Amino acid sequence: MPFCLDVYIRAQPSDRSAVLSRFINRYVDTEDPGDPRFDAFVRTFIAGEPASGDLDALAECRPDSCTERAFSLYLRSRDYYQAIITLTEENDLVLGLSMDDPDNDPAILPQASTLMASLAEEFGATSGVAGVELPPPQSISEWTNDALVMLRYGSV
């Protein structure tokens, strides 16, 4: 697996389903999303009509049994290595894109900064972070942890 620079923005949209639809339509390979739980996610969080078993399927995306709400869905992207959708413990929305960087290209960090600013504007984000192989922040405490963060935009 190649190294990736992961770029995330944190949004608190008034219409989460509309923001999710725009992100998915723009960045996710909907023909082959790469995760069988994608349809359950769309039915639950965009259509608002989960089918039987959808919530259980999405619970599998949680990192551990101690997590009540937070989970991340890793999807194939049209233009990037990966698209990541995260719902946090605080019920915020974290949207991410992974930029392929197998050669540790010094130009990737400025590109990530530009991408972060673009995503923040496009989705009304309050803040953003980026780092190499950075897991998506699933809570405020993870969002403020600087251990792996190379870029930070805005504040929590």
Q: Show me where the domains of the chain are located.
A: 4-154
Residues 6+ apart with CB under 8 A from 105: none
How would you write the pLDDT of the chain (156 residues) with one tens digit per residue? Answer: 568 999 999 988 889 999 999 999 999 999 999 999 999 999 999 999 999 988 888 878 777 655 678 889 999 999 999 999 999 989 899 999 999 988 888 899 999 999 999 999 999 998 999 999 999 999 999 998 888 899 998 876
CA distances to 27, 75, 100 from 138, rounded to whole Å, are: 20, 17, 22
Which residue has tokens 């605080």? 90
Q: Residue 124 carries which side chain, given as an amino acid letter?
A: G
Contact, 77 vs 94, CB < 8 A?
A: no
pTM of the model: 0.92
